[in-house]
Structure 1
Amino acid sequence: MEKKFGPALNPPLGRRYDLDWLRVIAFIILIFYHVGMFFNYWGWHIKNNEQSNLIQVPMYFTGRWRMSLLFMISGAGVYFALGSRSPGSFLRERFVRIFIPLLFGMLVIVPPQIYLERLTQGETYSYAEFYRSVFEFQPYPKGSFSWHHLWYLVYIFFYSLAGLPLLLFIRRNIRMTSKWAVFFQKPLALILIPVAWHVGGSALLGHRFPTTNDLIHDWNQHFHYFTLFVSGFVLCTQPAFWEILKKQRRLLLIVWLVLLPVVYYYYFSEREVTGLENIFNDLVKSTMTWCILLSFFGYAYVYLQFTNRFLRYANEAVYPFYILHQTVIICLAYPLINLPLHFWLKFGYLCVGTFGVCLVLYEFVIRRVSILGLLFGLKPKKRRKVEDQGIPAISSES
């Protein structure tokens, strides 16, 4: 007999290793993705003298879901954070562990990226001469003030603040979320209703608000990412949601595997689609992305409920790695631009070099100097010795 999910208590605030694993994996993929941006034909800050269509194939696939996954994990992190903190304490820690690293990143970590980009555009000034322009506070690309890859921190910071009343309301209404769990155990509801929501949002906002990552004009992305942020929060309100994903994980996997060739057909055709075909294309892509996300959560819930030394280390290291990685990539890539080396040799060097430099800076500098730990979003040393309830700060738990 099929199990029916009735009213349930909030799950215990034990550590969710499956979410930890997904978070670490997602950020590892992000580093490879940004290395790939140096070599593909998409717009980026600096470019290799030889580009490749081949590298765009896996990048297009991961680009469909990698940031969506992180926003859902961020929402899950907020759920656990609010279980052990008052709203006021939660907001104070958002400021310390997200806003301070963001401001530090904009003034120290990001400027070298802009400087090296300017050199590729023909500028000849020194870094000291360039750096003065940062404090003119003119937004990039006209000026030199930007958050670049740190836009994710901007978004989860403001989602945490603006969405707090809604999240508190959801967390306090256990009976409401238990009814949602009963409803969404039906596969059609689990897939079609969220997909229809996202497709409808794209139809209304997609053409009017193209992606900018500038917070102010990015309303189409806000619609999708804030929805995913809240969805990740809602999943943690009831154990029944995770049992649903566990039960339906194979179906979800089959659905997105079937749709993947259709998505790649439209990508490789490189033709403009309009009207009903455009709606169909968006429907297929949204369904594939949603099923990927849910299947990842379902499989992780089954197979990744464990920890080890790597996960414990990576959970702390991933935030500084995220803040550092794109600047490290660009600094390592700039001298390679015109070198007559094989494409894959450069790619391998940048991957190994980026992880190596980030590891050395983290292990021997950041985690050993208290003020740098604060600026890179690490917990105080005393708190690092005790496992927190929930999942760590970069996913919005603090």
Structure 2
Amino acid sequence: MIEKKRRYDLDWLRVIAILAVYFHHIGMPFNGDKFHIMNSESSKILDDIMVFFEQFRLPLLFLISGTGTMFAFSKRTWFQFLKERSIRLLIPLFFGVLFIVPPQTYYENIGSYLSYFKVYENMSLKVNHLWFIENLFIISVLVIPLILFLKSPKSNKILTVLEHGAYKKYGVFLWVIPLICITIALKKLYPSDSKSITNLSSTAFYGYFFISGMLFTSAKNIWVYLKEYRKFNSIIFLISTLLFYGYYFLPNKYIAPYLSSSIQWDIWYLVCALVSWTSIISILGYGQIWFNKPSIVLNILNEAIYPFYILHQTIIVVLGYYIIQLNVNISLKILVLIFTTFPLIIIIYRFLIYPFTIPRILFGMKKKKLKLPK
């Protein structure tokens, strides 16, 4: 049975995860990876830090989305759920692809002002960072049969087995084994890092966290065990982190003579999955201690965070294009980028989106509640 009590810890973790995505994209022009705009110099240290946080910021977001999906479905029929998902996800996706993302394409291939409209003329429309919304909608639709099963008495035996396994200290940690197997197997068939829904290695990886969130919510005692064993899980996370960076920094000349390239990648996927899963179960445990309390600030952030996500990358790319051309060091450029983009996103949200019905719908927000006269 799904517990309908508000989970403030999950609300906080959703806000934190999206802010982590924002800071990740702040660093992208400077870490040497391919991004829409790139600084002339890159920071290896920044890249070394970012590759670690990449392992769990999006998995956390997908897992929380899985829990939110179960909570949303608990109050709706499957048709009402599908309607709600379409309004909250498809409308912002289509609006974003048509109006929010094109400036990124323009600044990535900047030319004359008229070249902005060639984005539409050539139909070179992309989802870019909105891939998360696209994937979330498709996964939400695909798992409807599973949701119906989990809501039915037929799932009781399976949920009981999961809860019994989670009762053991290492129980939830062992969920990493299927994740490792799925990741390694599908990476051989779909080696791309693309976030497209058709790239099954990526979709299955994030889908595993999404479905895990659904199962955690359906077998609610698992939350109790995540909280109870949070110290144990955090120790495993620290060990996984050491394994991750130990392998990451290990010179290739020491392993190339003994391990094929394929096996080297398999080990990399293994340590990445370990960090991803152990970090998530640790965060979920400590989140119940640190964040599970109501807050006026949380109410404000919870409403603003979705429009913030939709807007953030475009604002970063547009302002970042000019900031990376400044004749200052990378650290200062990053600070300038933060202190210009963050306030601008908030201003756009507060004065152009928040007060008005149509922009609220376009950015996935609920209609503003009318205050009844006293």
| 1:255-270 aligned within 5 A | 255-269=236-250
Residue identity matched to 1:165: P
SS at the partner of 1:106?
A: helix
Tell me the residue number matched to 1:396. Answer: none
Equivalent of residue 233 in structure 2, options 252, 259, 265 = 252
Equivalent of residue 112 in structure 1, options 103, 112, 117 = 103
How far apart are residue 48 of structure 1 and its match?
1.1
List 4+ stretches of structure 1 deviating above 4 A: 275-278
How far apart are residue 252 of structure 1 and its match?
0.7
Q: Deviations over 1:273-315 (max 9, x none)?
A: 6355544443333222211100100111122111212211100
CA contact (8 A) 1:48 1:338 kept: yes
Which piece of structure 1 moves more, 300-309 or 146-155? 300-309
By relative contact order (CA 8 Å, sep 6+), the higher-ranking structure is: 1
SS at the partner of 1:252?
A: helix
Q: Deviations over 1:39-84 (max 9, x none)?
A: 1111111111221111123211210101100000000001100111
Equivalent of residue 169 in structure 1, options 149, 154, 170 = 149
| Residues 101/384 of structure 1: CA separation in 2 closer, same or farther (3 Å cut) | farther
| Residues 189/308 of structure 1: CA separation in 2 closer, same or farther (3 Å cut) | closer
Which piece of structure 1 moves more, 243-252 or 337-346? 337-346
Tell me the residue number matched to 2:209. Answer: 228
Equivalent of residue 54 in structure 1, options 37, 45, 69 = 45
CA contact (8 A) 1:106 1:147 kept: yes
CA contact (8 A) 1:81 1:90 kept: yes
Tell me the residue number matched to 1:130. Answer: 116
Residue identity matched to 1:101: P
Residue identity matched to 2:129: H
| 1:303-314 aligned within 5 A | 303-314=290-301
Query: What root-mean-square deviation, in Å, do the aligned CA atoms of Structure 1 and Structure 2 show?
Result: 1.9
Tell me the residue number matched to 2:166. Answer: 184
| 1:359-374 aligned within 5 A | 359-374=346-361
Equivalent of residue 213 in structure 1, options 182, 195, 209 = 195
Tell me the residue number matched to 2:176. Answer: 195
CA contact (8 A) 2:106 2:119 kept: no
| Residues 36/180 of structure 1: CA separation in 2 closer, same or farther (3 Å cut) | same
Percentage of pairs with the same residue: 33
Tell me the residue number matched to 2:285. Answer: 298
CA contact (8 A) 1:191 1:287 kept: no
How far apart are residue 11 of structure 1 and its match?
4.3
- Number of aligned residues: 363
Provide the C-alpha distance between the structure 2 equivalents of 1:317 and 1:366, rounded to a whole number of angstroms.
10
CA contact (8 A) 1:73 1:229 kept: yes
Provide the C-alpha distance between the structure 2 equivalents of 1:67 and 1:260, rounded to a whole number of angstroms.
17
What TM-score, normalized to structure 2? 0.92
Residue identity matched to 2:62: F
| Residues 383/91 of structure 1: CA separation in 2 closer, same or farther (3 Å cut) | farther
Equivalent of residue 241 in structure 1, options 222, 228, 234 = 222
Provide the C-alpha distance between the structure 1 equivalents of 2:115 and 2:245, rounded to a whole number of angstroms.
46
Residue identity matched to 2:345: C
2:62 aligned with 1:71: yes
Provide the C-alpha distance between the structure 2 equivalents of 1:336 and 1:302, rounded to a whole number of angstroms.
40
CA contact (8 A) 1:105 1:150 kept: yes
Equivalent of residue 94 in structure 2, options 84, 103, 114 = 103
